[in-house]
Each structure stands twice: as structure tokens, then as C-alpha cells.
Structure 1
Amino acid sequence: MTVLGFFGVSAGDMACFGAYLALGVTFPGLLLVRALYGGRRTLPEEIALGLVLGYAIEVLTYIAARAAGMPLLVIAWPVVTYAVFAAVPGLRRHWKGPSRPAAPVWWSWSIALITAYLVAWSATRFFKLHALTWPAFGTTSLDIPFHLALIGELKNHMPPTVPMVAGESLFYHWFVYAHFAAASWITGVEPLVLLFRLVMLPMMVAFAVLIGMIGRRVVGSWAAALLVTVGALFLEAPNLHLGMDVGVFTWRPTQTWQSPTQTFGALLFAPVVLLLVDLLDRKRGTPGRWFLLGVFLVALMGAKATYLPLLGAGLAAIAVVEVVRHRRTPWPALAVLGITVACFAYAQFVLFGQARLGMAPEPLAMMRSVWGELTGLGEDAQPSLASALAVTLLYLLGWVIGWCGICGLLSRPQLLMRPAVVLMLGVGAAGIGATLLFGHPHHAERYFSSGAYPYLGIVAVYGLFVILRRSRVPVRATACAVGAAVVATCLTRVVFGVQVPLSPGENEISLYRPYIVLVVLALLATGALLVVNRRRLVVGAALAISMISAAGLPAAFAIRVVSAAVPTPAGVGVNPDPPVEALMVPRDALAAGRWLRAHSDPDDLVATNTHCRWGFENPCDTREFWGAALTERRMLVEGWAFTPTNYRHWHRGLTVEDLPFWDQERIRLNDAAFRSPSAASVQRLRARYGVRWLLVDERHMSPGHRLGDAANLRYQSGDYAVYQVPGDTT
């Protein structure tokens, strides 16, 4: 609370949100988990499961309530839950809950430290850079106003459309914005505060708890659960280059403030995997667990589009292995696969309207872009096939290093056939494959691998524990192998000192030298360990796997320390999407937007003269969403970069945010009302499109314009003005 207060959250907002999260989401969800799931869990695990189930039910309830025009009816589900559990004698025992397994004290402290880390990480990596006040708020990353605009849309309309372009269907995974909208309705807290400070932290903590819970289920060890959690939050590929982190060397973390859909999708996917471990691996299927699985899958289908295909691949792998190995039909796996396919089909044909949103088969698209960034030739540069394959090998090498522990299962091959292991390997293979086979103008294909890597991490930890247990390698020997790997990785990076992007004319072979050397060192060390332990090869293999795995997690952290000690040269690491500078932010845009929100009807349509990001008008970067974000109103035409129609007009070689608006008549009439204001041009917008308000950035208006003669000036401050179109009775 001290951290949130320091970064601008009032005590009242914290109290309201905390009470809502506990009483309106977590505790009713916890009661349902106790009644339907069964089994014994620690209290943090119960709370995390209850929170996620609460999210899922709340979103589905809110969709129905908002469609009925009564958004506050969403509070009916916790009220009904409490009433049922109080009235039904057989359910009253769940208020107290079952006995819990005894967790080690160090485990509880570890969860507390991870929570503290997530708070500190959020404060330094997000809160510090994203203010709640204007104009600093206006310099945030370009995705933030997009998220705010969708929250406003879900707060006021169902079904939702793209608020930046009137009439454009919202074919997108928007369920997380329904949660934001419900939270805002119930608590009265501003969507801005929810997005910037409050909502994502509980999701991150719950994900950390659940991923550790899955790890403990699979491996059967509290220590493994901790290592799984740490790996899911911190693992990185070893970056042996100096300078910017790009592409294959920057794995998107599962926990992120920048992408609420990714965090929400990852959180909902975790209990799906947990339930599948119980249903398919441990053969503990009950009607309650099947019901919970169905609820989570339905919520997941609208939370993040990447997860259902990954799950389908994992389930298909289980079915194939069961048929080949046991010569029997795996009905439970096929049943879940059928539900998954049904949810996927509904999502594709209804929620997403078969819109690709720029995603298309394009093998090695990201690798080609990364090659351009590393060489300094730019994302649009076209590498040779050999160069693209070389960068792909670096990408795969990072995965091999990070998940080398999987090889430990070869010491007991039958464990590779466990349904839980097959499921996670299938998810991982699908994630890597989709990342390599698909392309997207903003590299959204990376979300496939981001969603998969925590589960490959579980299998890697499982393999590492299996081979270490079997080999009985002394802890000191393992620590020496890990330490040697960390030192070797850091020295390789410093000795070669490869700066990226490369200098003009520098041979690209420089990019690969440190990795070639690292691979050679790993092979030599592995060979030496196997020779020294030739009478017990399992010991040499265990030390080799520990050593190589160390280049993933410990060495990545050590490299961060080295990076801090060795300054990056000036000019290295240019952001491909530079932020808006403070001088570009219009004065009092927030005040104007809030005034319009307070004095207009949610169904009112607004026209605006801003279509380009502030400061990026030539060429026009159409990722401009502030009008819809600040007013929570639909715009006739604002920024159209992320719309389905705009993506349909895009192909490789074009810049999606620079494409012109497809409806030339609409954009012409919209802009005419501001460039040549007259009663006729303004009334034409009202008559043809139903425009009720004009949100005007005065910096783009001609000196001495006479818009006030055609519309009623209702509010003006700083650079912004709000006009009401005559004839409105509001």
C-alpha cells in the first residue's frame, strides 16, 4: 500500500479495490473451488485458484449484465454464491475449508519475497514511467491509450466495437477489458488507476503461485516448485551481445503491465493445465473438476487468442502417444480436445470474426526482422536465407540452453510418456513452431512462445531433478558446474564485446562468434565430464545438464550485472517506437476528455481532428487512440492502425500504421468540418453519421477559424476544445 500511495493511488481507491477483490472476486471463487475441486491445497494456492475462478465467472457474468443494460448486475454472482453456501447445509463446511498440507516455512517466505519482488519490479519498471497526471500521462507507451479506449468501450457497450472508428467490429481478445469495466463499475475507481496501478499485480502474484503449484504436482517437490516459479518469472536467453536487447534475446515475460491480455490469458491458462494434470495424469476426474475446466476454457477463449491452439497441440500429442503406446482410445484427452476445438471455433468465427489482424503464415518473419536490427540495416532489410537461418539457430540455441534440463528425463525414458509431460512438451513445440512459422507486422507471433515457455520450464526442472536424484551428485559438485557455466558465459560476452547493432560494413559473422565459442566450450566440458565419469555416465550427464542450464537463469542474471558495470555506448539501442515527448503532448487534453465524458451520453458519437500520434504526423502514424481513451466515447474516425479493416489492407513491405483510411468519403467529410468549418460541413456529420460532439485539438486548426459559428463551444482549456453539434437535446 505504501508503494501504491507513493505512486499516486488514494487510500480510498486502495480500500475499495481491495474490498472488491477480496469479497467480490476471490472469496466467492474460493468457496466454489472448495466445493467443486476437492483435494488439499495450501492457503495461497486456494486463494490463487479462487481469484482466477472469480475472474472467469465475473467476466462471463458481466458480459450478460452489460448486454442487458444493467452492468451492476454483475454483483449478483458473489451475492448468490454467498447465499447458496449459507443456506445449503452440505456446503456450509466450505466456509472453513479442509485441512491443508504442511508447507515448509521457507516456501511461505519465498512466496512473500516473490510478491515483494513483483511489487518492486512493477514500481521501477512501470509505475515510475507511467504517471497518473497530465501531461506526463500522455507520454506513456502507445499501447496504453488503446487499452484505456477498450476499457471505456466495454464499460458502456455490449457487444463492443472498435471505439476509435465507429462501426468497426472489435475482433479481438477483449475479455480482460470486461474485467476492468466490471471493476470500475463496482468500485468507482477510474479505469486509468485500475490499468496503471491496481489490476495487474494480483494477477501476477496468482500466476506465480499457480505455476509453482503445477510444478509441485508434476515434480513432487517444494524445491522444484520454487525453481519453476523463479524460472517462469526470470528466465532469459543468454545475450552475448553488448547494447540493445532485441528479438530472440528478449523473451517477453509472462507477467507484463504493457499487455493485459497476455497476463490475463497466462493466468487463465494455468488452472487449465493444473486441472489437466489431475484429470489426465493423476486420473483424478470428478464432475466438479470437469465443470471448472469448462468454465476456464470458455473464459480463456476470449482472453488471449494464442492459448487455445497451444492447448490443442498438447492434447493432440497426448492422444497420439496414448494410442501408439497403449493401443487404446484416450477418451478423457479427446473430450478435452473436443471442448477446446469447440471454444476455438466459436472464438474464431464469432469473437474474432475470422479476422487475422495481421497474423499470417510467413516462415522466419521475426528472424528476418531481428537480423535487420542486429546488423543495423533496419527491420525492412531482407537477409539471405543463410543469414535468416543463422539467427534462427541462435533463437533455438537460447531455448536449448534454457530447457536443457528436459534431457534429464532421458535417464528414465518412461517419464517422457507421462500425460502431463507430453502435454507441456506439445504446448512448447507448438509455441516455438508458431513463432517461427507465422509473421505479424508488430511481431505478435512472439506471444505463442511467451505462453509456452513456463510449461517447458516445468518439464526442464522435472528432468533436472530426476537426473540429479538418480545420479546423487554432491551439491558442491553441482554448484561448481553451475558457477563455471556462469563465469564462462559472462567472460565470453565481455571478451568478444560484440556491439549491436553492428557498425556499418562490419561482417555479420561477428554476431555468431561468441555463441560458437560458447557451444564449443559446452561440448568440450560435456565430453570431459562424461570421460571423467565414464563408469557412471549418469553423473557426468547430470553435471553437464546442470552446467548448460546455468547459462539460462543464473548466467542471464550475471550478465545483467556485467551490463550494469559496462556502460552501453551512446546511440545504441534505439527504440523502434519512440515515445511521445512531453513537448508534443497537448495541454489539458485529459481535462477536455473528462469534461466530455461527464456531459455526454455513452452512445453519443464524437468527431475529432486528430488521427496521428502526437509528434508523428509526417508520415501519419495512425496509432492515435487518446480521444476514445479519455472520453470513453466512440469516435467517427480517430486512429485506425489496429482495426481489422486496416490489417486487411496491409501486406509485407507496407507499414501498417502508415496506411490511409479506407473510407475516403468518411475521412473527407470528417476533416472538412475542421479544415473548412461551416454549418453545412458540421451538420453533414450529424445527418449522415449521427455525430453529436466535436473534440478539437486547436493546434491543428487554422488561425481565426470559425468553428464556433457552426457548433456550440461548450468547453475550452489549453490546446483542446469541445463543441456540441447544434440540434442536440442532451
Structure 2
Amino acid sequence: MAETALTPQRSVEGRSPHGRPGRSAPALLLRWLPAVSVTAFTAGVALFYGVSVRDLGLFAVYLAVCVALPGTLLVRALYRGRRTLAEEIALGVALGYAVEVVVYAAARAAGAPLLVLAWPVATFAAVAVIPRLRGSGSRALRTPAPVWWSWALALTVASLVAWSAVTFFRHTALTWPGMASVNVDLPYHLALIGELKHHVPPATPMVAGEPLLYHWFVYAHYAAASWITGVEPLVLLFRLGMLPVLAALVVLLGMVARRGAGSRAGALAAVAGTFYVVAPSLYLGPSTGVFTWKAESWTSPSQTFGALLFAPVVLLVADLLEGRGGAGRWTMLGVLLVGVMGAKATQLPLLAAGLATAGAVGAVRRRRVSPALLVVAAMTGVCLLFAQFVLFGGARNGIVLDPLSLVRVTWGELTGRGDARPGTASLLGVAALYAVCWALIWFGVLGLFAGRPGTRTPPGVLLMLGMGGSGLGAVLLLGHCQMSQIYFLAGSYPYLMVVAARGLSAARARARLPYRTAGVAVAAGVLIEVLVRWLCGVRVPLEPGRPEALLYLPYGVLALVVALVVGVLALRGWRGVRLWACTVFLVGALGLPAAWVTRALPNGGAVPGGAGEDAAEAGVSGATVPEGTVAAARWLRAHSSPDDLVATDAHCRWGHESPCDSRHFWLAALAERRVLVEGWTYTSANMARWRPGVRVQDIPFRDQRLLRDNDAAVRDPASPAGRLLRDRYGVRWLVSERRPGDPGAPAGATPAYRSGDYAVYRLR
């Protein structure tokens, strides 16, 4: 994270050839110390949690040579804006990922996945041959970062690594049977990586014949990394893959925030707000994180990967809207928009809403719309249409118009009445709680009104404000079978924090509020929330017979305490904008303690030392985990072709057979093979049948006859059903999961491999 200038050859007088004073070795060491420290810490954490030295070394070389270095060279050739070295490398990582995904898709479709290496090789060759591509002018545009800023970013990255270790690595084993208790979505992600390793265009590996109408670019990146390094997809997904993404994301959000907030202090507040401030939930109990936003960096890799690619898009669009154009910026924007298009479906609609906001304000102010904005809007629209009708095939994937569905679910969690429907008063009450909680963390936005009269808000800030407003609107208006409308809010969250930080800076400057006073106000806000939370002691879900009105008690007390503090300040002589600015800082800090609860414990409230919510959700015990799962799947991977079709009788998550929770993906995940029918929950066909009020994982398979034939064939490969699967569907392998108490081996079958509770059969 540290920034340092290049070290030109120094003359005997201690000056560079350009006449600038040279830097001594100790000074350079101090500047590099933050980056070196956080890198060493990250490597130590990875090694401690089971990553081998070989895998870590290969991944580091891949990241540097195949992503960061060629990406940075492209950034130097295309982007002439002022930046630090850390920002330049982070931009290079984001651009490198975007190019890698596109090239890998073409290479895999051509049947030669290692041709993905052509793009870094071509980049190195072009830069070596064409001098003007070396971006030598970028050296003059590079600015050194203050040491405190480098340390701030480095410590932020280190905290995210530590948070990953505590809340994810510690509960996500790399070995069986502990691996069986991981978050329920991880085998799904792992299966998609296996699919992208062997097939482009991809299909849904758990149900043969189902198209993969999903944002799959992050899995293409994992597949490319696995091909190049030889590292298992499991290790990439569970340990290594998101580490550089998180580090680059922190740096790029700092870069965007510095532009939007107008100062490094404001940028630091925005970065800290993104990762350490959440909407305050003043309740005790396992649902304490219900009002919070949480970065699901590991359990939703598409969200984190999409956020990384989206950050430079916001930066470039802000540049273009503010008159800083150039062919290089447009080229970078085009490449990154293509990357975002398939990385996360929720990002481009947010960008479109932000552009609409900036355009509307510009039209009112100047009676015209910026040509650059129209071009960016056209590019965004093309990518949106391509994503919706080509990548996603027009499927809604469980998204429906269902106003306040998030509020209904929250009411059920808070009251413990999940199967009941709230009344109108309850619905509006919880919606008001959401509005209050969100207003608290973004209260700093009001500081924008503290600017000097006649000061115009830059188009980039309007862009972020529009994205934030659309994210809040989407999360309240839309519904989803897995509550995934929350990702609209997650995607806009950092940019609302940038706007809030800009407002805080404006309020402090207008009121001439000293930093010390602002810090005291922040500390007071933190203390107030902690005291209100624990003194009120409202535990959720509410115990039977407890009045629903208790849900509003902590927030009412909070309002009274804040009003009391403000009243005392007013009596002490604080007036006008100074009192108002102090109140903004006081209220804006109320989300800090909630962030600790959400980030330090798995899913905001799981008991420390336990397996966390992920294992509780999995419901897996030693008695229900079949033995030999990994061995059987790996044997099948080694002895079959990637185009071979597999049938299995395992469809329900272990421990969730009645009713059947069809989120069983382990065979496709570990064997990297397509399965005729395994788990069907996340298929587009299944989610299209979902309606609010029904658990999507409980919806039966769409073709019950095929399911019966499938299971009959696996249990007796010599039966007519076995021949049917072989001749009609092209099934080549059967994998039977035999638990204790099940009948013996199928009659007339000769197993090709047996391990623990698994038998693998070949159909010739």
C-alpha cells in the first residue's frame, strides 16, 4: 500500500539527474514498510490457515506477472491522471482482471485455455517494441503519498485479512469432513469454477441442459488462475483468490474517495465508513446484524470482484463528466464496462441511475446534457442490454417487484414470527426503522448543504449520490428468493460513504470545527450507541408474549439521548452552523459499534468459538457427512473426460432430506463434471417458478419423471433406467451415495471405484 517515487540514479551531490533531491535508503525503506508489512502479514495468515508455500508462491508469481504487471503497463499507456504508485498498481490489477477474463473466455472456447497467457506476453512485447506505450510521462504525473496515508490503507487491508481469518478461514476447512460445514453457497461457486475450467460458453453443471444465466466472470478468473498455476480451485476460492481483490479494492476506493471527498482526510473517512460503519442495530441476540450491510467478500466472490472492477469505472466516468477526456480513458472505460457487465449484474443499473441523476441536474443547471455523459450512457446501455439478453438470457433469476419484502423478512426475524405476515402498522414501523438506521450512517450527506452559496456539486459526486439513492430504492422495491436485492445496496454503499464524507468535510470547514472537537463528537456517538444498546437490553427474536413495541424502544431512547446532548451544547453557547456540524459528526458515528458486531462475528451475532452461522445453516453433523466424498469425486475427475456426463442419487443437503433442501452441489464442485441432476435450487428454471412466501430450495424438480429414472438407474445400473440414461442422455458415470443403513451395492453392477460411502460405476 505504500507509495514511493522511482529511484533514479543519484549524482555525487545526492541529487537525481533531474536536479531533485534524492532519497536515502532509510527514507525509501520507511515508504515501503506499510506495503511490505501488510504483504508479510497476509502471507502469514494464508500459510497459517493451510495454504502451502508452493501454492502461495505460484499464486503470487501469477498475480504479479500475469495480472498486475501487464495491467499496470496498460494503465501507464492509457491513463494520464495523477496517482500514486499504489493506485497505479491497483488500477493495473483491476484492468488486468478484466482483460484476463475476456481473453480466457476466447481461449477456453477455442479449446486452449493456456492461450490466456497470450495477453501478458503480447503486452510485454508491445511495450518493448513501441516506446510511446511505456507511459514514461506517467512518472511525472505520479505523486508520492504521505506516510500516514500509506499506513492507513495498509492497516485497512490488514484488518480485512484479519476479519477474513476470524470469520471465514477459521470456519472454512480445506479438508474433509470439516469442509462439509462451509457456507452453503461455496460448493456452488466451486462447481462453477470447475465448469469454467472446462467449458465456454458455460452451462449449469448441477443440472445438465440448463444454461448458466448468471454473472460468471469471476469464475472464469479463478479458472484461468488454476490453469496457469496448477493451484486447486478449492484453495483459490477458500483462501487466496479474494486477497488481492480486497487489497486493490481498498486502494481504489481510497482513490475514488479522494476525488469525491476532496481531501485525504475525507477519503480516509469514506474508506473507514465503507468497511467499519454499518446501519446500527440496537438489539441483542443472533439477529443483531439485521439492519447492517456486510461485505460478503468470500461467500459472494462475484460481489467483491464486481466491486473491484466497478471502482475504476466510477473514477473514469467522474473524470469524463468533469472534462478530463482522452482516448486512453475511453478505452479503459470500455474494457472495464465489459468486465463489470459479466462480473456482477447489480452494478450497471446503479451506474445508469447515477448517470441519470448527474444528467438531470446538469440539464437543470445549464439547460444541456454533457456529450460525454451521453456517450457513457450509451456504452452503459449497450452493456446492460447485452448482459440481460445474452449473458442472462432475459431470465429474471428470482428477482420480482415485491415492495418492502426486505421489511417483511426483517419483521419475521425480529419478532420470531417468520411464517406470519405483518400488519400494515408493523410493516410501516420496521420500514421506518430501516429509514432511521440508514439515515444515521449517511447523515453526513446533509453536510453538502453547508457549502458556500453558489458552490456547485461536481458531476462525479452527483453520480455517486444517484447510485446510492437507486441502491436504497431497489432494496426496498424488489424481492428475491435469496434476498439478493441487498446487493444493490451493497454495490452503492461505498459511494454513499464518499458523499457522506464530502458532506462531513464541508460541514467541518464551514463551521470551522476543529478536528479535536469532531473527534470528541464521534467518540460520543460511539459511546451513546454502546450504552443504549446494552442498557435497553432488547433481545431479538422477541420472546413469546413480549410486545412488539419493544422493537422501537432503543431507537426512541437513542433519539432522546441525542436530543439531550444537542440541547446541552446549545445551552453552553453553541449556535448555528457550529452546533449543526457537531451534531452531524455525533449522529454519523452511531454506526461504528454495530460494525464491530457485524464484522467480528460470523453473520452478526453467532457465538464466538462455535462453528458460526454458516455451520449452523449447514446443519451438518459427523453422523450425516458421508465418508469418501472427496476421494470419490477426485477419482472421477482423474478418470473421466470433462465432457462426460454423471448421474447421482444425491440431491438434498446432508441433514436436510425432509423436506429436501436441494442445494447439494458437492459432486459437481469436487469432480468438476456436469451432473444430470444433482441440486436444482439455483437453476434459472427453478427460480423462475419461485413466488414470494415459498422457500426456493423446497421447490421440487421440474421433471419428476427424469428424477425418478435418474435415481432408479443409480441404485441399479443394470435396470432399464440405467440403459435409458446411457442411450437417451449420454450418461457415462453413476455415483451412488450410500449412507449407513442403506441397502448394499446395486445388483449386477461392477463398481469402477469405491470409497467410504460412495460407489462409482461406469456405463459403457
Matched residue, 1:227: 269
Matched residue, 2:7: none
Q: 2:523 aligns with which of 468, 483, 497?
A: 483
**Compared with structure 1, are the counterparts of its residues 64 and 42 closer, same or farther at alpha carbon in structure 2 (3 Å cutoff)?**
same
- In the alignment, is residue 136 of structure 1 matched against residue 174 of structure 2? no
User: Contact between 1:252 and 1:447, CA under 8 Å: does it hold in 2?
Assistant: no
Write the deviation string for residues 564-601 of structure 1: whole angstroms up to 9, x where unpaired. Answer: xx998999x98783442233211110011000000000
In structure 1, C-alpha distance between the alignment counterparts of 2:520 and 2:160, rounded to whole Å = 30
Q: CA RMSD in A?
A: 2.3
**Pairs within 5 Å for 1:458-537:** 458-526=498-566, 529=569, 537=576
Of residues 97-106 and 135-144 in structure 1, the stretch that sits farther from structure 2 once superposed is: 97-106
Of residues 141-150 and 105-114 in structure 1, the stretch that sits farther from structure 2 once superposed is: 105-114
- Report the alpha carbon displacement of residue 441 of structure 1 after superposing the two structures with TM: 1.9
- In the alignment, is residue 58 of structure 1 matched against residue 106 of structure 2? no
**Compared with structure 1, are the counterparts of its residues 533 and 352 closer, same or farther at alpha carbon in structure 2 (3 Å cutoff)?**
farther
In structure 1, C-alpha distance between the alignment counterparts of 2:594 and 2:423, rounded to whole Å = 31
User: Contact between 1:622 and 1:639, CA under 8 Å: does it hold in 2?
Assistant: yes
**Compared with structure 1, are the counterparts of its residues 553 and 361 closer, same or farther at alpha carbon in structure 2 (3 Å cutoff)?**
same
TM-score, normalization by structure 2: 0.90
In structure 2, C-alpha distance between the alignment counterparts of 1:561 and 1:123, rounded to whole Å = 10
Q: 1:80 aligns with which of 117, 122, 131?
A: 122
Q: 1:344 aligns with which of 368, 381, 384?
A: 384
- Report the alpha carbon displacement of residue 701 of structure 1 after superposing the two structures with TM: 8.4
User: Contact between 2:166 and 2:600, CA under 8 Å: does it hold in 1?
Assistant: no
What SS does the corresponding residue of 2:376 show, helix, strand or coil? helix
- In the alignment, is residue 541 of structure 1 matched against residue 583 of structure 2? no
What SS does the corresponding residue of 2:76 show, helix, strand or coil? helix
In structure 2, C-alpha distance between the alignment counterparts of 1:414 and 1:647, rounded to whole Å = 51
Write the deviation string for residues 536-561 of structure 1: whole angstroms up to 9, x where unpaired. Answer: 51111111101111112267549999
Q: 1:552 aligns with which of 591, 602, 605?
A: 591
**Compared with structure 1, are the counterparts of its residues 414 and 50 closer, same or farther at alpha carbon in structure 2 (3 Å cutoff)?**
farther
**Compared with structure 1, are the counterparts of its residues 482 and 89 closer, same or farther at alpha carbon in structure 2 (3 Å cutoff)?**
closer
What SS does the corresponding residue of 1:360 show, helix, strand or coil? strand
- Report the alpha carbon displacement of residue 388 of structure 1 after superposing the two structures with TM: 1.2
- In the alignment, is residue 409 of structure 1 matched against residue 451 of structure 2? no
Q: 2:694 aligns with which of 654, 678, 681?
A: 654
What SS does the corresponding residue of 1:207 show, helix, strand or coil? helix
How many residue pairs align between the two structures? 717
**Pairs within 5 Å for 1:280-679:** 280-281=321-322, 283-378=323-418, 380-412=419-451, 414-415=454-455, 417-526=457-566, 529=569, 537-553=576-592, 556-557=595-596, 577-679=617-719
What SS does the corresponding residue of 2:623 show, helix, strand or coil? helix
Gaps of 5+ in 2: 1-42
In structure 2, C-alpha distance between the alignment counterparts of 1:569 and 1:176, rounded to whole Å = 31
**Compared with structure 1, are the counterparts of its residues 559 and 87 closer, same or farther at alpha carbon in structure 2 (3 Å cutoff)?**
closer
User: Contact between 2:73 and 2:134, CA under 8 Å: does it hold in 1?
Assistant: no
What SS does the corresponding residue of 2:449 show, helix, strand or coil? helix
**Compared with structure 1, are the counterparts of its residues 312 and 700 closer, same or farther at alpha carbon in structure 2 (3 Å cutoff)?**
farther
- In the alignment, is residue 123 of structure 1 matched against residue 165 of structure 2? yes
In structure 2, C-alpha distance between the alignment counterparts of 1:148 and 1:614, rounded to whole Å = 18
In structure 1, C-alpha distance between the alignment counterparts of 2:607 and 2:57, rounded to whole Å = 43
- In the alignment, is residue 69 of structure 1 matched against residue 111 of structure 2? yes
Match for 1:176: what amino acid? V
Matched residue, 2:60: 18
In structure 1, C-alpha distance between the alignment counterparts of 2:401 and 2:374, rounded to whole Å = 27
What SS does the corresponding residue of 1:627 show, helix, strand or coil? helix
Match for 1:640: what amino acid? W
- Report the alpha carbon displacement of residue 664 of structure 1 after superposing the two structures with TM: 1.9
- Report the alpha carbon displacement of residue 531 of structure 1 after superposing the two structures with TM: 6.5
- In the alignment, is residue 271 of structure 1 matched against residue 325 of structure 2? no
**Compared with structure 1, are the counterparts of its residues 438 and 84 closer, same or farther at alpha carbon in structure 2 (3 Å cutoff)?**
same
Match for 2:551: what amino acid? L
- In the alignment, is residue 187 of structure 1 matched against residue 225 of structure 2? no
**Compared with structure 1, are the counterparts of its residues 394 and 607 closer, same or farther at alpha carbon in structure 2 (3 Å cutoff)?**
same
- Report the alpha carbon displacement of residue 23 of structure 1 after superposing the two structures with TM: 0.4
Q: 2:753 aligns with which of 715, 724, 728?
A: 715
In structure 1, C-alpha distance between the alignment counterparts of 2:334 and 2:570, rounded to whole Å = 48
Matched residue, 1:724: 762
User: Contact between 1:606 and 1:635, CA under 8 Å: does it hold in 2?
Assistant: yes
User: Contact between 1:672 and 1:681, CA under 8 Å: does it hold in 2?
Assistant: yes
- Report the alpha carbon displacement of residue 721 of structure 1 after superposing the two structures with TM: 1.5
**Compared with structure 1, are the counterparts of its residues 617 and 91 closer, same or farther at alpha carbon in structure 2 (3 Å cutoff)?**
same
- Report the alpha carbon displacement of residue 562 of structure 1 after superposing the two structures with TM: 13
What SS does the corresponding residue of 1:548 show, helix, strand or coil? helix
Match for 1:277: what amino acid? A
- Report the alpha carbon displacement of residue 97 of structure 1 after superposing the two structures with TM: 4.1
In structure 2, C-alpha distance between the alignment counterparts of 1:661 and 1:279, rounded to whole Å = 49
In structure 2, C-alpha distance between the alignment counterparts of 1:410 and 1:169, rounded to whole Å = 50
Of residues 657-666 and 550-559 in structure 1, the stretch that sits farther from structure 2 once superposed is: 550-559
Of residues 423-432 and 103-112 in structure 1, the stretch that sits farther from structure 2 once superposed is: 103-112
What SS does the corresponding residue of 1:606 show, helix, strand or coil? strand
User: Contact between 1:16 and 1:187, CA under 8 Å: does it hold in 2?
Assistant: yes
Q: 2:725 aligns with which of 685, 689, 706?
A: 685
Of residues 92-101 and 223-232 in structure 1, the stretch that sits farther from structure 2 once superposed is: 92-101
- In the alignment, is residue 212 of structure 1 matched against residue 250 of structure 2? no
**Compared with structure 1, are the counterparts of its residues 234 and 613 closer, same or farther at alpha carbon in structure 2 (3 Å cutoff)?**
same
**Compared with structure 1, are the counterparts of its residues 648 and 170 closer, same or farther at alpha carbon in structure 2 (3 Å cutoff)?**
same
Match for 1:260: what amino acid? P
- Report the alpha carbon displacement of residue 680 of structure 1 after superposing the two structures with TM: 2.5
Write the deviation string for residues 663-713 of structure 1: whole angstroms up to 9, x where unpaired. Answer: 122112101113454243211110010000011112288523434x24x41
- In the alignment, is residue 31 of structure 1 matched against residue 69 of structure 2? no
Of residues 161-170 and 670-679 in structure 1, the stretch that sits farther from structure 2 once superposed is: 670-679
Of residues 111-120 and 609-618 in structure 1, the stretch that sits farther from structure 2 once superposed is: 111-120
User: Contact between 2:195 and 2:203, CA under 8 Å: does it hold in 1?
Assistant: yes
- Report the alpha carbon displacement of residue 96 of structure 1 after superposing the two structures with TM: 8.6
Q: 1:167 aligns with which of 209, 214, 219?
A: 209
- Report the alpha carbon displacement of residue 245 of structure 1 after superposing the two structures with TM: 3.1
Gaps of 5+ in 1: none
Match for 2:650: what amino acid? T
- In the alignment, is residue 243 of structure 1 matched against residue 285 of structure 2? yes
Write the deviation string for residues 590-620 of structure 1: whole angstroms up to 9, x where unpaired. Answer: 0110000000000000000101001111110
